[in-house]
Chain A
Amino acid sequence: MPNAISRRELLASIGASGLLLPRTASAFTVSAPVAPVVIARCKTYEPSELTPVLDGMFDKLGGLGKLVQGKTVAIKLNFNGGPTVRLGHLPLGDTHWPNPNLLAAAMHLMARAGARRIRLVEGAAAPRTDPFEEHMLDANWDPQQFLRAAPRVEFENTNYTNAAKKFTRLSVPHGGLLFPAYDVNHSYADCDVFVSIAKYKDHPTTGVSTVMKNLFGLTPLTAYGNGAGKWEDNDLVYGNDRIQIMHRGSRQPSMGALPEIDPKSPRDDGYRVPRAIADLTAARPVHLAIMDGVKTMAGAQTPDPRCTPIEPGVLIIGTNVVNTAAVAIAAMNYDPRAPKGTVPFERCDNKLLLAEQLGVGSADPAAIEVIGPSIREVMFDFRALREKRRAQQGNGPGGRGRPQN
């Protein structure tokens, strides 16, 4: 059958043509599951407010115990940008990193629910011999806060192979959209429960950054970063982003990671990065997604002069990462099903719909049970801020701002 086309090739070609992303699941998609998403108001990061609110949210989700009791939990942080870059004077946890008090509260509740071990994981742009805790201290976080939150806490910089001595290969079910598999630190495989915690905010490359975009950071810089192939031996840092390999596709990964499926596919980050994120959500299922919208920022993923600090005063959690991201994006006054070329996906494919097609979860808020205040009640108008930025600068997310990792 010389004219035969695989399902993967068909998906890729449809996506490249802009025809992808129907409003309802197509014949090519796998059934997209739905699970409840819990919304709660939370005005501050004071533990006296935060912990009971989060505790109540977990209860509404069915209880933490059945998820974490006796389990090893890996929590993927969302440390984008350098640890010493702030939006104005604001601590990173008030703008673009998840707040440390929220993280500690979640860890405390997990420990109380019987979690056996909690491992904080992130690909920190730091040399191999720098303890991950030192990266936190550089940001003026106190690692002791997390060590006190649960009895057995570990830290792992997932840019390196560390004790495992090699990366673990996560294959993408149904073949993958960009790569057939991704080589990652063992902690992403050696866990019973995988948690993604992140702020919701704008993103120049993929429109929005949420618990889904956080998974882009699973890819170790030693294999997928600009310095891939130079790191492991010399113990130095060469850049902290994945622009060359993941965004632009100007070279293939290092350290034995598999090359991409189609080297002739578009070398456009608006095509590539959403597909990598969708792949990773399928390859490494998230058991618990925690969206930090108490305080965050609009305008970009990492601070720059376009950004505005904001305080939506909201937490959103769910057990399905796409469902949770869809609800959060709707709460940003964006359409999580918007096609490429429209707000907030002006110049990129919609990663939620791509993940939906891979069967990870539904991106349709109307299909998702929301527990707590309605989306409308907690909505913060990122869209209006976006339009205001565009009017002022002509270069907000959706324009051709600097690529952000």
Chain B
Amino acid sequence: MTEGSMRQRNLVCSIVLLAIAFVTFLEISTIPIGTPGRPKMGFYPLILASLLTILSLTLLWETLKEKKEKRTLVRGGWGGLKKVGLTLGALSAFAFLFKPLGYILSMFLLIGFLMRAIEPQRWWKVIVVAFFCSGVSFLILDLLLAIPLPRGLLGI
């Protein structure tokens, strides 16, 4: 279990937000801004990017002036990060393989993987549940509700 301080997180957060504001200013520089009397498409985002800069600096200032005794520790913040990483990896892979493999196969693989990765279940249970869920959900969505889903490799 890891421990980190909210102060460190807030510092990183305000720097990331300042970076987002900076990128927004760069983007705005490529579009017309207009004047308050004749605002163009860059006018409103310019106000927002300015507000974001002010608020990010406020957060940075609040974090820096925070008294030592008021600082809070965040316990166990990144403990199960491996499982989160695996889940996100599986979901990204699903998004890439969804069209080429088709709904049934990609969903079967995703459910199977998640059932093994998050809290490992027995193989037979994984296969039965993944097969049942991908198949039944396909029947309901594609055939019953007429929501078109990609067929992919299997062609069904």
Indicate whether A and B interact. no
